[in-house]
């Protein structure tokens, strides 16, 4: 099985997405699957073009599989299609003016596409999701407590959880663990039993569009369970353009 | 000190009275209640009035929430579709008979209570509707206690009492992130326990008796209590009030009517 490219947070930055696509095509090992873990959009005018680019890949590019991110959820809430009725979180983070900015940035005809996106994707033994199995806002980082990480994995019975909410690239491996469990009910009492956890991991896949000139994403090789992080520099002065005479 | 913890009274005044006098006999110093004061049973107002009169610290149960908020949780609140249908009938009946001040009281109940190293919730610390079944994976169970910061987590909601000890929990972690060196972290947790208080008014452990628990803090000992009472009285009141007769049938047997949750840890996203 060939590699997967997993990215998150294009955030309406077309140049960043193009740079990542170009980097994916440069890989020696062909990339077979492309997963986008949400935040394709942000309150930018370019978001519409990014959606169009994501939906219509070129012939030599894999068809991206996309799930909802935080910005997509906020957009759906504004259109009365979200899991909660009020855009409380959006206003808390960005102020009341953001409601109109986001509403205006994404044309209505794009909302249906956003609505069609899954909350998360499950492939082989991997959960691919923007935040976590709890919500799109759940931010997992290299400093998240181990038990919390394990909980997020076990909620969906995943061995690997790929996420993008923090924007960081990291590999968090739960290598081994044990706990001794015993149970007493009204009618019986079980002797203590040692329970072992099987190795699992959480992978932060970075962020494509937030930082101007620098995009990060992850490559995954399902056969060997190997993760590689890529940092792509793009734009003026980053060596991709021919020097003007 | 002896702490008595009870849950899921479900409008069963007879059972509540029996449990309160048993708590008295056991000379408990404190009482906590984990919610579900109403629903299924015929005396929701009397039960709430008694809890208020005795000033028993109580957290909000799934039924208490639904009576206040209206039924907007999905079918996952019930172990099966059939249970959901019957639950809806009971909800409508309770919704009609409940006094306004009782509804107000239920609305202001906290989701969790804390007493030193003890934490009290209805379902789980994450959600009132989550069932912490005794067979839940040990690490999932351990996470539920750890997230509260307490040593013992008291919960109800399943209507079957148990004590689960989770000892010597440990995890070995390796974290690699770009720009920093790889680091190994080990995590360990001392003994943590989940104590399910069972159900006063709607037991499902296979007998009609009311159940609750007592924690002796000095001896660090947990006792599951089973209290006999005149359940036939409650059964008769269920029928007299026009509640679904199946509630009387299963109360007399202490059964959930052979229905199981498909996914007990599933939490509604609505
Ligand atoms: Zn209950
Ligand atoms: Zn409940």
Residues B30, B23: contact at Cβ < 8 Å? no
> How many domains is chain B partitioned into structurally?
1
- Residue A81, CB half-sphere, CA atoms under 13 Å: how many? 14
pLDDT digits (tens, 9 = 90+) for B3-31: 999 999 999 999 999 999 999 999 999 99
Question: What's the Cα-to-Cα distance from B207 to each of B42, B229, B252, rounded to whole Å?
Answer: 20, 11, 8
d(CA B176, CA B80): 44
Q: How buried is B3 (Cβ within 10 angstroms: 0-12 exposed, 13-18 middle, 19+ buried)?
A: buried
Residues A1, A19: contact at Cβ < 8 Å? no
Residues A11, A43: contact at Cβ < 8 Å? no
| Nearby residues for ligand 2 (ion, Cβ within 5 Å) | B 36, 61-62, 157
Question: What's the Cα-to-Cα distance from A48 to each of A42, A55, A161, rounded to whole Å?
Answer: 10, 11, 29
Residue B260 belongs to a domain: no
Percent of all residues in chain A with a pLDDT value above 70, rounded to a whole number: 96
Nearest partner of B201 among B5, B18, B60, judged by Cα:
B18
- How far does the CA of residue B162 sit from the closest CA of chain A (Å)? 4
Residue of A nearest to B265 (CA): A155
Nearest partner of A66 among A112, A135, A118, judged by Cα:
A118
Residues B43, B13: contact at Cβ < 8 Å? yes
A63 three-state secondary structure = coil
What's the whole-number mean pLDDT along residues A239-244?
Answer: 42
d(CA A140, CA B175): 13
- How far does the CA of residue B187 sit from the closest CA of chain A (Å)? 7
Asked if the C-beta of A154 comes within 8 angstroms of chain B's C-beta atoms, the answer is yes
| CB-based contact B140 A170, cutoff 8 Å | no
What pLDDT sits at residue B270?
A: 38
B227 three-state secondary structure = strand
Q: For residue A123, give both structure tokens.
A: 């492939």
d(CA B114, CA B117): 8
What pLDDT sits at residue B196?
A: 98
Nearest partner of B164 among B190, B142, B187, B147, judged by Cα:
B142
pLDDT digits (tens, 9 = 90+) for A186-215: 999 999 999 999 999 999 999 999 999 999
| CB-based contact B169 A197, cutoff 8 Å | no
> Considering only CB atoms, which residues of chain B are within 8 Å of chain A?
134, 137-143, 146-147, 160-178, 180, 185, 187, 189, 205-206, 211, 224, 226, 265, 269-270
Nearest partner of B237 among B44, B17, B29, judged by Cα:
B44
Q: For residue A150, give both structure tokens.
A: 């394990």
Q: What is the pTM of this model?
A: 0.86
Supply the range of the domain harboring residue B219. Answer: 2-252
Residue B263 belongs to a domain: no
Residue B257 belongs to a domain: no
What pLDDT sits at residue B81?
A: 60
Among all ligands shown, which has an atom nearest to the Cα of B9?
Answer: 1
pLDDT digits (tens, 9 = 90+) for A179-193: 999 999 999 999 999
What pLDDT sits at residue A240?
A: 47
Pairing state between β B192-196 and B152-155: parallel
Query: Band of the pLDDT at A147, cuts 50, 70, 90?
Result: very high
- Distance, first Cα to last Cα, chain A: 46
d(CA A55, CA A117): 12
Q: For residue A66, give both structure tokens.
A: 């996309």
Asked if the C-beta of A178 comes within 8 angstroms of chain B's C-beta atoms, the answer is yes
Query: Band of the pLDDT at A1, cuts 50, 70, 90?
Result: confident
| CB-based contact B175 A182, cutoff 8 Å | no
Q: What b/e sequence results for A70-103 when a residue is b if at least 16 CB atoms lie within 10 Å of its CB, and e otherwise? A: bbbbbbbbbeeebeeeebebbeeeeeeebbeebe
Task: Kindly give the distance from the C-alpha atom of residue B265 to the centroid of ligand 2, in angstroms, as a whole number.
Answer: 13
Task: Kindly give the distance from the C-alpha atom of residue B209 to the centroid of ligand 2, in angstroms, as a whole number.
Answer: 18
| CB-based contact B137 A173, cutoff 8 Å | no
What pLDDT sits at residue B82?
A: 65
The CATH code for residues A3-174+200-243 is: 3.60.21.10
A73: pLDDT strictly greater than 70: yes
Lowest mean pLDDT among A39-48, A150-159, B55-64, B261-270: B261-270
Q: For residue B218, give both structure tokens.
A: 């000095």
- Distance, first Cα to last Cα, chain B: 41
Backbone angles phi, psi at B107, to 5 degrees: -65, -30
Q: What is the CATH number of the domain that holds B25?
A: 3.60.21.10
pLDDT digits (tens, 9 = 90+) for A93-133: 999 999 999 999 999 999 999 999 999 999 999 999 999 98
Q: How far is residue B187 CA from its own chain's centroid?
A: 30
Nearest partner of B79 among B7, B133, B11, judged by Cα:
B133
Q: List the helix and strand counts (H, then E) for chain A.
A: 7, 11
Residue of B nearest to A184 (CA): B163
d(CA A48, CA A33): 23
What pLDDT sits at residue B83?
A: 66
Residue B186 belongs to a domain: yes
A123 three-state secondary structure = strand
What pLDDT sits at residue B258?
A: 45
Q: How does DSSP classify residue B42?
A: S
| CB-based contact B176 A175, cutoff 8 Å | no
A168: pLDDT strictly greater than 60: yes
Instruction: Name residues of chain B where pLDDT drops below 70.
Output: 71-84, 257-270
Which residues on A lie below 8 Å from B160 (Cβ)?
A: 185
Asked if the C-beta of A236 comes within 8 angstroms of chain B's C-beta atoms, the answer is no
Residues A138, A170: contact at Cβ < 8 Å? no
Backbone angles phi, psi at B145, to 5 degrees: -75, -45
What mean pLDDT is reported for chain A?
A: 93
d(CA B231, CA B12): 9
């Amino acid at each position: 099985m060939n590699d997967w490219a997993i990215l998150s947070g294009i955030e309406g930055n077309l140049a960043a997405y193009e740079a990542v696509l170009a980097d994916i095509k440069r890989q020696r090992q062909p990339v077979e699957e492309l997963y986008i873990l949400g935040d394709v959009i942000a309150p930018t005018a370019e978001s519409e073009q990014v959606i169009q680019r994501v939906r219509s890949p070129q012939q030599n590019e894999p068809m991206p599989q996309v799930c909802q991110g935080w910005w997509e959820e906020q957009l759906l809430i504004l259109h009365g299609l979200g899991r909660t009725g009020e855009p409380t979180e959006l206003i808390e983070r960005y102020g009341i003016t953001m409601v109109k900015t986001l509403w205006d940035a994404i044309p209505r005809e794009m909302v249906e596409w956003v609505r069609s996106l899954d909350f998360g994707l499950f492939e082989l033994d991997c959960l691919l999701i923007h935040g976590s199995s709890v919500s799109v806002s759940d931010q997992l980082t290299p400093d998240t407590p181990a038990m919390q990480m394990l909980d997020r994995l076990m909620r969906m019975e995943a061995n690997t959880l790929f996420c993008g909410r923090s924007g960081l690239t990291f590999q968090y491996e739960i290598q081994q663990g044990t706990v001794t469990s015993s149970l007493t009910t009204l009618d019986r009492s079980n002797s203590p039993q040692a329970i072992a956890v099987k190795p699992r991991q959480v992978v932060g896949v970075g962020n494509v569009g937030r930082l101007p000139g620098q995009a990060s994403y992850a490559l995954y090789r399902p056969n060997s369970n190997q993760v590689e992080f890529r940092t792509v520099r793009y734009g003026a002065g980053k060596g991709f353009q021919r020097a003007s005479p | 000190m002896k702490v008595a913890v009870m849950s899921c009274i479900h409008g069963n005044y007879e059972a509540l009275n029996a449990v309160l006098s048993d708590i008295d006999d056991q000379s408990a110093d404190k009482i906590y209640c984990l919610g579900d004061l109403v629903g299924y049973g015929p005396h929701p107002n009397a039960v709430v009035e008694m809890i208020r009169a005795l000033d028993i610290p109580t957290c909000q149960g799934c039924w208490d929430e639904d009576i206040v908020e209206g039924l907007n949780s999905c079918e996952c609140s019930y172990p099966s579709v059939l249970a959901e249908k019957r639950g809806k009938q009971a909800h409508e009946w309770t919704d009609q008979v409940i006094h306004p001040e009782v509804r107000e009281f239920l609305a202001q109940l906290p989701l969790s209570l804390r007493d030193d190293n003890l934490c009290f919730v209805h379902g789980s610390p994450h959600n009132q509707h989550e069932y912490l079944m005794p067979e839940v994976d040990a690490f999932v169970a351990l996470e539920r206690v750890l997230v509260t910061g307490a040593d013992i987590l008291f919960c109800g909601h399943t209507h079957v009492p148990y004590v689960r000890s989770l000892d010597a929990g440990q995890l070995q972690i390796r974290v690699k992130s770009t720009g920093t060196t790889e680091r190994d972290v080990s995590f360990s947790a001392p003994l943590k326990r989940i104590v399910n208080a069972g159900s006063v008014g709607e037991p499902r452990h296979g007998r009609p008796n009311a159940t609750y628990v007592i924690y002796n803090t000095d001896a660090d000992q947990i006792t599951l209590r089973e209290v006999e009472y005149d359940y036939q009285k409650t059964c008769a009141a269920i029928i007299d009030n026009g509640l679904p007769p199946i509630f009387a049938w299963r109360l007399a047997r202490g059964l959930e009517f052979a229905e199981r949750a498909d996914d007990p840890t599933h939490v509604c996203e609505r």
